[in-house]
């Protein structure tokens, strides 16, 4: 009988470890396979052929601005939680995470790397993880709010369904807030401790008068920068839709990209673009071409992250030979300088 249970017992840890990544991989591949069956490979090839050096330069420039704003947002959150980080180090770490998100399954492993590395440097991995989680959540909530405002003010094929979507989001957010508030006031369970931590982070940190305006401004600038890059990709790809309608469609696509079910970002982005452009009468193939070109431009724009990771690897290989670094338990990049206090 022991032999009958040995296989499941060995498989179970592997499922817990690799299951989410395999699910994301399967979801991204499935979407791409379905799109390939429906429209063929031509739209993807058109997106690759449409790349121009002017578009690449524009994407790199906009990405520098959005990365600085993202790093600023992360720095504000980290300082609010007591694990501060300098802006230059935050920018370098963010470039690393953007590159890893662009080439790995799921689109979140770069953020995990950034959180753990910063947490080790700060001496508190848990707070490092919370800082990155709150920073990303704030950006995603801002993305959703800005998308809702855009869809309410600009023409869009999904505008009639927006009130129902907003009502659902508001209901879920209200229920979550109620659960957190109730759990924070009673009991000593794990859920209670988590609720108390979330409540403390919000009250004493993120919602402080000096923090939330900076977080909101940085997030709005990030959304604007990514949207501008998407508009450039659409125009270079030959999309002649009115600017207002185009921005509304691209905001919907960006909101869908937030869902971590992709292969280095590929999958849901192209699927959402195909649906949105088809609903607007512009053709699913046009949406896929625009999304493909955008993906190539963004990969070129976050390439500095690859250089930083390569530099980290070289320093780690040389590190053991240096007496002053051989005893350090944390091989994290030296660019993440933590400013305590």
Assign 119 to helix, strand or coil: helix
pLDDT score at 216: 94
Cα–Cα distance between 151 and 159 in angstroms, integer?
Answer: 6
Question: How many degrees, rounded to 5, is the angle at CA 98 between CA 112 and CA 294?
Answer: 140
- Residue located via tokens 């009130």: 163
Greatest Cα pair distance in the chain:
69
Q: Closest Cα partner for 266 from 96, 50, 53, 30? A: 30
β-bridge partners, 266: 263
pLDDT score at 334: 38
- Residue located via tokens 């600038």: 221
Residue 40: phi, psi to the nearest 5? 80, -175
Cα–Cα distance between 243 and 94 in angstroms, integer?
Answer: 30
Give the H or E element holding residue 132: helix 125-153
Residue 79: phi, psi to the nearest 5? -65, -40
pLDDT score at 13: 56
**pLDDT string in tens for the chain (341-residue length):** 444 444 454 455 544 555 566 666 676 678 778 778 888 889 899 999 999 999 999 999 999 999 999 999 999 999 999 898 999 999 999 999 999 998 887 678 899 999 999 999 988 999 999 999 999 989 988 988 888 888 888 777 766 656 765 665 666 566 655 655 554 555 556 667 777 788 788 887 888 888 999 999 999 999 999 999 999 999 999 998 888 889 988 888 888 777 776 676 777 888 888 988 988 888 999 999 999 999 999 999 999 999 999 999 998 888 654 443 333 334 444 333 333 33
pLDDT score at 333: 40
pLDDT score at 321: 46
Q: Which long-range contacts (CB under 8 A, 24 or more apart) does 201-207 make?
A: 201/80, 201/81, 201/130, 201/134, 204/80, 205/77, 205/80, 205/81, 206/77, 206/80, 206/134, 206/138
Q: Which two tokens stand for residue 331?
A: 């091989």
């Amino acid at each position: 009988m022991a032999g009958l249970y040995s296989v499941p017992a060995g498989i179970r840890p592997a499922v817990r470890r690799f299951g989410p990544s395999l699910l994301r991989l399967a979801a991204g591949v499935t979407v791409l396979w379905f799109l390939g069956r429906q429209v063929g490979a031509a739209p993807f090839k058109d997106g690759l052929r449409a790349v121009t050096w002017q578009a690449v330069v524009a994407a790199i420039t906009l990405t520098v601005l959005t990365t600085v704003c993202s790093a600023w947002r992360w720095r504000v959150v980290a300082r609010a939680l007591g694990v501060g980080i300098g802006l230059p180090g935050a920018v370098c770490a963010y470039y690393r995470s953007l590159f890893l998100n662009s080439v790995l399954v799921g689109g979140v492993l770069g953020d995990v790397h950034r959180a753990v590395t910063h947490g080790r440097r700060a001496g508190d991995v848990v707070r490092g993880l919370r800082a990155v989680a709150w920073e990303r959540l704030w950006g995603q909530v801002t993305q959703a709010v800005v998308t809702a405002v855009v869809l309410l003010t600009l023409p869009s094929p999904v505008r009639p369904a927006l009130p129902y979507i907003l009502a659902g989001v508001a209901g879920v957010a209200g229920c979550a807030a109620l659960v957190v508030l109730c759990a924070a006031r009673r009991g000593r369970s794990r859920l209670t401790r988590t609720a108390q931590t979330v409540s403390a982070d919000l009250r004493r940190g993120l919602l402080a008068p000096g923090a939330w305006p900076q977080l909101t401004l940085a997030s709005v600038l990030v959304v604007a920068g990514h949207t501008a890059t998407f508009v450039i990709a659409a125009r270079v790809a030959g999309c002649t839709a009115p600017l207002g309608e185009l921005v509304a469609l691209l905001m919907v696509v960006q909101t869908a990209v937030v869902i971590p079910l992709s292969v280095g970002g590929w999958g849901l982005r192209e699927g959402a673009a195909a649906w949105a452009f088809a609903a607007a009468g512009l053709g699913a193939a046009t949406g896929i071409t625009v999304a493909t070109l955008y993906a190539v431009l963004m990969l070129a724009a976050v390439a500095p992250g690859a250089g930083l990771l390569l530099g980290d690897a070289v320093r780690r290989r040389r590190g053991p030979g240096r007496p002053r670094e051989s005893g350090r338990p944390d091989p994290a990049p030296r660019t993440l300088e933590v400013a305590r206090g």
